Amino acid sequence: MLVIRLSRKGRRNQPMYRLTVAENSMPTDGKFVEIVGNYNPAALDQPLVIQKDRIEYWISQGAQPTNTVTKLLNRQGFSLPVIEYHKAPKKKAKAVTDKTIAPAAQEKLAEETTKKETVEDSGVGTSDVPSQNDDKEETVVEETLADGADSEAEKTE
């Protein structure tokens, strides 16, 4: 099957393309039947130069232009159909239902939501992560309670 496709030429960072008619099984930059135009995306005045009669001839002979070539030719007055490939739809996150969560996980989830609600209601802070100072205060309070319990136990003896 014959195709009309782009074949890259030019230096690095300065691409130029040939519109070639070639056998589908041949490499992109390999052997071709005919050059029917060229495309220079860097040229502002005339980026696409084609031989319209030769392209019409090859299309009538059954040559299939690639999607990129079809879009370029449609800019020059052709009315060729562009094949749009269907993309797979994006996967949506599954909604979490109570039936799918284990009972222990449901309890943890309920506790976390109540903690968040109490923090938001108190207006103290909205951060879920306690600051380093909060940890120090808690340990100091625990130590004083433990020391106080020891001293009370000594007093009773």
pLDDT at site 133: 54
Each residue of 39-70: pLDDT tens digit? 999 999 989 999 999 999 999 999 999 999 99
pLDDT in tens, 115-138: 666 655 655 555 555 555 555 555
Predicted local distance difference test score (pLDDT) of residue 120: 58
Alpha-carbon gap, residue 140 to 146, rounded angstroms: 10
* Domain locations along the chain: 2-75
Burial 60-83 (b: 16+ CB within 10 A, else e): eeebbbeeebbebbeeeebeeeee
| CATH top class, domain 2-75 | alpha beta
pTM confidence score: 0.53
